[in-house]
Chain A
């Protein structure tokens, strides 16, 4: 199911130019029956809508700073702008959508849910991911999916250097060029069920103009899972 823009007529509107971040986040933590929220004038504030734990939807009209939607559970957060470092870090579940671009460490250590970045994501996208799915419409920077453990990273554009360095069992799919692969990361065959996995993720992300069979698949060679001195040069 694609993430769709929400009808906002009955949304609670919070203006961060006149409301403190603490008041906003406390309200989002105790939403009562209010399921739709709209935040205006975020002006790059950090930690906007972090720690949510309810099936609510939050539309943010502008750019946010670090850790927007950090540790999200259940909620749907959509940023109509760019996001700073660590958007949706350690997300458990729910959906976070960035209409613009995201800074470094997008989706870091996320354990579940879906992060969609419609622009580019910077370095370390999906670092230490533990089950989150990340779809980037543009390109990702260097060291993306570093030590990635579980989940899928789908990059419709290019990936920077050292993709998937020290990767564990996460699935990486890149449509464009890869600067270089990190230690123990190798290209693997894209089979039908992999293309199906990409197709399903693109659908959920609302990306319709990209062919899932155009992606290349990368994953762990599993050569560094147990230390061997003959591999010392790879560390």
Chain B
């Protein structure tokens, strides 16, 4: 009788992992049982979602003709806040740096964002906790966030900002407030926020002095009066009921709407919130543009889209769907060195690894970016970091221009949905462009 050699369990071929209870799920159930607290982390949604990767550009051919790369112009400038502000923002590229707080990030990291953005002629944004001298000094164009907590908020900084962004929500946690855990509440952070040092700081999820769109209109009016109608007023929303939210923001008087899809990053949020609340950036852009067009306000109230912008292709696709600009957060941190293999040994000491690190809430970032520890922060050189941001922004712009020229566009804003097709039925339905090789847009005309 033949002795068949059986595969040994250690070969793994006879093992079947549950789709429902995979190793990550098992680890999380056991972690929850051990620690008795939900998982709080940084970064954005890690699950697979329909995204700009599911769209392709139709380059020019016989029916359209392209522009010559390197020789024919493809402009990239954008003006934000043309609706009511005396001094709209004039940016050279349609890519801004998203709001990230001093507190979540180290002071040198905030400075680097300002340096990089300034070098390429775009804007950066403050965050929960107020404006630091470093970022104001190094940011030619600085957007000042007005958040529910109003930590560090004061009229002097409001007046020396170039634009004001009322934050209603963010893509990683629409409907959620802020959180900064005790290990990042250094003396300086505590003083700026009028809080005791070392506590777990909670930020409210609703503004303290307004509720709903009618109040928001009055709040915007007050901010305009305080700043003598000079500054553009942005309203930032997390993507959920986007069509209605955008229309209400327009009604309330916003100059610019910042729309953050669920892939948008966070410094510290419950994992369950990051992964299960909000809608992806792809359908959100389409809903926002629909809402603006229906009101006749597309391009009059500018739309900035964020949440998963990584490449020039993402930039070009967001603009083709109707955004006026995009904003980057997570990618900016990565550009500055977050999750770099050079820190792998340190990441592993923290129980993570390069490419996986998401404990931005913990303040022990080996790259010196998401920390308030002076020794760790000193690892990060704001001049080198600023240079990396500028390089990265230039590459995003060049990539977007490459795609736009291929579609025959002399300005990034001339890209349009007609230049796009979708690779999946989901993306076709969400972005409302045809499935590649067909004229089928699911849901359109009853089909």
Contact = CB atoms under 8 A, between A and B. Distances in A.
Interface string B140-162: 00000000011001110010000
Contacts of A51: 155, 225-227
Nearest to A128: B208
22 contacts: A22-B229, A29-B228, A46-B221, A47-B218, A47-B222, A51-B227, A66-B222, A67-B218, A71-B155, A71-B226, A85-B210, A85-B215, A86-B209, A86-B210, A89-B208, A109-B208, A127-B209, A131-B194, A149-B194, A166-B202, A169-B196, A225-B196
A135 to B, nearest CB: 19
A120 to B, nearest CB: 18
A18 interface: no
B225 A109 contact: no
Interface residues of B, number: 32
A73 B155 CA distance: 9
A76 interface: no
Interface of B: 35-37, 149-150, 153-155, 158, 182, 193-196, 198-200, 202, 204, 208-210, 215, 218-219, 221-222, 225-229
A58 to B, nearest CB: 14
Contact of B37 (A111, A128, A229): A229
B153 A90 contact: yes
Interface residues of chain A: helix, strand, loop or mixed (majority) = loop
Interface in A219-235: 225-227, 229
B219 A150 contact: no
B194 A50 contact: no
Contacts of A109: 150, 153, 208-209
Contacts of A130: 150, 194
Given A85-B209, A168-B196, A225-B200, A90 B218 contact: no
6 nearest CB pairs, A to B:
A51-B226, A86-B209, A229-B36, A109-B150, A225-B199, A71-B155
A25 B225 CA distance: 7
B199 to A, nearest CB: 4
A198 interface: no
A124 B229 contact: no
Contacts of A85: 209-210, 215, 218
A227 B35 CA distance: 12
A190 interface: no
A105 interface: yes
Interface of A: 21-22, 25-26, 29, 46-47, 50-51, 53, 65-67, 70-71, 73, 85-86, 89-90, 92, 105, 108-109, 111, 124, 127-128, 130-131, 146-147, 149-150, 166, 168-169, 225-227, 229
Given A21-B225, A92-B155, A124 B208 contact: yes
B182 A90 contact: no
A147 B215 CA distance: 21
Contacts of B198: 226
B143 to A, nearest CB: 18
A128 B215 contact: no
A169 B194 CA distance: 9
A47 B217 CA distance: 12
A26 B149 CA distance: 28
B208 A108 contact: yes
B194 A111 contact: yes
Contact of A22 (B149, B155, B196, B225): B225
Nearest to B227: A51
The residue among B37, B150, B200, B222 with the most chain A CB atoms within 10 A of its own CB is B222
Nearest to A104: B209
Contacts of A169: 196
Given A47-B221, A130-B150, 20 more contacts: A25-B225, A47-B222, A50-B222, A51-B155, A53-B155, A67-B209, A71-B226, A86-B209, A89-B208, A90-B153, A90-B155, A109-B153, A111-B154, A127-B208, A127-B209, A128-B204, A147-B202, A149-B195, A226-B198, A229-B35
